[in-house]
Amino acid sequence: MPQDGFLDYIELPASDLPATKAFYGSVFGWTFVDYGPSYLEFHSGDRVGGFNAERKVVSRGGALVVLYAADLDAMEAKVRAAGAEIMERLAFPGGRRFHFRDPNGNEIAVWTKA
């Protein structure tokens, strides 16, 4: 049983569930369970979350989901090849990351250790 305060689930807005499934499945290898026409659950290793077509995308300043990549440059190439807009690249003490917009307009980051 998770303890109080355990981050249990992430739910993101998604205006286009088929495009969302295609993007995250091809780039990150996530698997999915469809729950009706407006909800898509994702599985990323032992992490679970969802995409909800009834939620609105926050254009700027919302929560930022950060994913990990062992090879950041290769992952950026996969994200770009899947059609995502790369927004920025930055370095920080201990690592580097890039931000992109997914098919729904959500801003997502991917990082790696330095």
According to DSSP, the residues that pair with 41 across neighbouring strands are: 33, 50
Q: Tokens standing for 50?
A: 């969802």
**pLDDT (tens digit per residue) in 4-34:** 678 889 999 999 999 999 999 999 999 999 9
From CA 76, how far away is CA 82, in angstroms rounded?
A: 10
**Is the separation of the CB atoms in 103 and 12 below 8 Å?**
no
Indicate if the pLDDT at residue 1 is higher than 70: no
pTM over 0.85: yes
Indicate if the pLDDT at residue 82 is higher than 70: yes
Percentage of residues in the chain having pLDDT higher than 90: 84
Set out the domains of the chain in order of their start, with CATH numbers. 10-54+64-113 (3.10.180.10)
Indicate if the pLDDT at residue 107 is higher than 70: yes
